[in-house]
């Protein structure tokens, strides 16, 4: 069976079915024998991996595996070096301290698709893009971390998980790789 790399659209659940009628993975993935290796919030976009291999799912998603997740966050304001350093050193959250492996200001990502509905635009408040890399994946962690340092997240896109990148996948599009190739990629074999 394959590892499915899906660009999860904005306002889609990271599960196949919803009791309240919200869109889910069933609207984008025909293979029902797979399950997500990690989650993305309803209001976050980007790379979501799905597999039928329980060991592979655990290897990708469990914090002890230290699989790096890369996010692009459009934030309100212009980040200072102190704010970026704080993200890397220690941010105090209600459920404990958190830190990014890397936090850096970046240009707006190339080939970025428009979001529907669009982000609110305010002339008096600039926005910027930052890249945040984590090995954890607590609930709404990137949003909570950026807010804690004074940079509220307006849009959040997961651009990478371990060796996989979103590349040119548009929202709702996916591609497959074999589980054998997925294991090889995790072990640095590609």
Active site residues: 41
Alpha-carbon dihedral 105, 109, 112, 118, rounded to 10 degrees: 20
Residue 94 is encoded by which pair of tokens? 């209600």
Q: What number of helices (H) and strands (E) belong to the chain?
A: 4, 11
Q: Which helix (H) or strand (E) holds 61?
A: helix 54-61
- Give all strands (DSSP E) within 68-169, no chain letters: 69-76, 91-93, 96-98, 102-106, 127-134, 153-161, 164-165
């Amino acid at each position: 069976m394959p590892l499915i790399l899906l660009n999860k659209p904005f306002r889609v659940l990271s599960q196949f079915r919803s009791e309240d009628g919200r869109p889910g993975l069933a609207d984008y993935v025909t293979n029902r024998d797979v399950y997500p290796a990690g989650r993305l919030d309803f209001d976050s976009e980007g790379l979501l991996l799905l597999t039928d291999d329980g060991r592979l799912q655990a290897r990708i998603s469990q914090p002890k595996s230290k699989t790096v997740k890369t996010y692009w966050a459009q934030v309100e304001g212009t980040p200072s070096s102190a704010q970026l350093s704080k993200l890397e050193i220690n941010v105090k959250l209600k459920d404990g301290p958190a830190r990014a492996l890397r936090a850096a200001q970046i240009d707006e990502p190339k080939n970025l698709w428009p979001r529907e509905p669009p982000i609110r635009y305010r002339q008096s408040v600039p926005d910027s893009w930052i890249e945040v890399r984590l090995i954890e994946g607590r609930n709404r962690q990137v949003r909570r971390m950026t807010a804690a340092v004074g940079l509220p997240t307006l849009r959040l896109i997961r651009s990478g998980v371990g060796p996989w990148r979103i590349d040119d996948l548009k929202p709702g599009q996916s591609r497959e790789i074999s589980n054998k190739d997925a294991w090889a990629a995790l072990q640095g074999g590609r």
